[in-house]
């Protein structure tokens, strides 16, 4: 099934699962072949997330394999430079180097419970592909990873790691060869092979994925809330994360959504600025529509067709966004800002020089937004450092 056929099928099917909504956003807009599989997945997930044995096993692997809890590190030199007290949530120190492993461990345990024999996943920056291949190797499952050709070229280290971990690595040349195209390829394989288990990497796609990814990533927010109170004796004034699909961000935000005095900020991949075709700032430039199985914001043309996006960060180079982020934007609970390539590169260098921490170029967007908004504010803040920058060093960004 090609992308246009998939898109047309999505937009003509009404969502049948009202529990999968955040306000008006979310739902399950999929071809009929996938509805039974996703309904079964939703039912199993609702059972498992309230099962003490499942949660105990999930946290065992987070603690003993991933290396959680990840530190909340006071970035003293960055704080002095900015003029605010800034803590970094060190997801970059997780096994595999990013937050993605939290979700892949959770979902592969669901897959194991459901008797899955084959795992599939999409990847943009490669971190989700690495994390999925890692979890599949640990549990002895067959694994296929789909990646756009453009992303495979600009994230060669992660492409190699995926192969080294024993996964079948499949590149697609459709479209711009980026994350959207990898998702399309993975979804089409899933439609044709519904007995496989799709570990979706971000809080996007049809229900139950946005809720399921949020649940497994909420460990970030839970830990951060506890850690900041332990270290500072109070909640932060603000929190920051980068947003592509939005999994690391919703993981952090989930711990503070009920705290009205905690301001929430997210940095989107602004690319070359607010120009259609040269940006990936979906919540700044997009509009609500059905895209890849969910109703959320998407960057589209006047006819409602998704258009090509661009960001230096492969993990942010995506025209859609998770439905909960769409809800938080409309509810004015979170603010979403455009951070350009150049701003992200400057913060990539800045954090490396000031703290000896090389961030992923995706995470550098969050750092850039924090530096911009916290300058001389004497505020207490947390930045989610969603991944480390090993994968970006050979791109010679400086």
Residue numbers annotated as active site: 100, 122, 386
Question: According to the 3-state scheme, what is the secondary structure of the chain?
Answer: CCHHHHHHHHHCCCCCCHHHEECCEECCCCCCCCHHHHHHHHHHHHHHCCCHHHHHHHHHHHHHHHCCCCCEEECHHHHHHHCCEEEEEEHHHCCCCECHHHHHHHHHHHHHHCCCCEEEEEECCCHHHHHHHHHHHHHCCEEEEEEEHHHHHHCHHHHHHHHHCCCEEEEECCCCCCHHHHHHHHHHHHHHCCCCEECCCCCCCCCCHHHHHHHHHHHHHHHHHHHHHHHHCCCCCEEEEEECCCHHHHHHHCCCCCCCCCEEEEEEEEECCCCCCCCECHHHHCEEEEECCEEEEECECCCCCECCCCCCCHHHCCCECCHHHHHHHHCCCEEEEEEEHHHHHHHHHHHHHHHCCCECHHHHHHHHHHHHHHCCCCCEEEEEECEECHHHHCCCCC
Taking CA atoms, 129 is separated from 96, 104, 158, 247, 360, in Å, by 10, 9, 8, 14, 15
Rounded to a whole number of angstroms, the CA Rg of the chain reads 19
Peptide bond into 69 cis (omega under 30): yes
């Amino acid at each position: 099934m090609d992308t246009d056929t998939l898109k047309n099928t999505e937009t003509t099917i009404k969502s049948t699962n009202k529990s999968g909504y955040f306000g008006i956003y979310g739902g399950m807009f999929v071809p009929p072949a996938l509805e039974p599989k996703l309904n079964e997945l939703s039912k199993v997930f609702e059972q498992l997330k309230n099962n003490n044995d499942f949660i105990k096993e999930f946290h065992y692997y987070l603690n003993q394999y991933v290396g959680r809890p990840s530190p909340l590190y006071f970035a003293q030199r960055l704080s002095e430079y900015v003029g605010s007290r800034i803590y970094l949530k060190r997801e970059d120190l997780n096994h595999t180097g990013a937050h993605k492993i939290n979700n892949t461990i959770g979902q592969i345990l669901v897959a194991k419970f459901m008797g899955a024999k084959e795992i599939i996943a999409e990847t943009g920056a490669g971190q989700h592909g690495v994390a999925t291949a890692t979890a599949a190797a640990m549990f002895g499952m067959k694994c296929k990873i789909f990646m756009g050709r453009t992303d495979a070229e600009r994230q060669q280290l992660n492409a190699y790691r995926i192969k080294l971990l024993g996964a079948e690595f499949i590149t697609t040349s459709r479209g711009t060869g980026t994350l959207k195209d990898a998702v399309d390829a993975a979804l089409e394989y899933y439609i044709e092979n519904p007995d496989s288990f799709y570990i979706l990497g971000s809080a996007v796609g049809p229900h139950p994925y946005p809720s399921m990814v949020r649940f497994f990533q909420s460990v970030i927010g839970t830990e951060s809330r506890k850690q900041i109170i332990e270290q500072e004796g109070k909640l932060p004034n603000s929190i920051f994360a980068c947003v592509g699909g939005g999994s690391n961000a919703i993981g952090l935000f989930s711990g503070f959504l009920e705290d009205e005095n905690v301001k929430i900020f997210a940095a989107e991949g602004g690319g070359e600025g607010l120009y259609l075709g040269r940006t990936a700032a979906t919540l700044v430039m997009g509009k609500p529509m059905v895209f890849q199985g969910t109703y959320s914001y998407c960057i589209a043309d006047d006819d409602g067709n998704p258009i090509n996006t661009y960001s230096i960060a492969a993990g942010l180079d995506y025209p859609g966004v998770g439905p909960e982020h769409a809800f938080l934007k409309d509810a004015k609970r979170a603010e979403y800002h455009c951070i350009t390539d150049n701003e992200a590169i400057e913060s990539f260098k800045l954090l490396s020089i000031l703290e000896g921490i090389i961030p992923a170029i995706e995470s550098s967007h969050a750092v850039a937004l924090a530096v911009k908004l916290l300058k001389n504010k004497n505020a207490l803040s947390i930045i989610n450092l969603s991944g480390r920058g090993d994968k970006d060093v050979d791109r010679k960004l400086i």
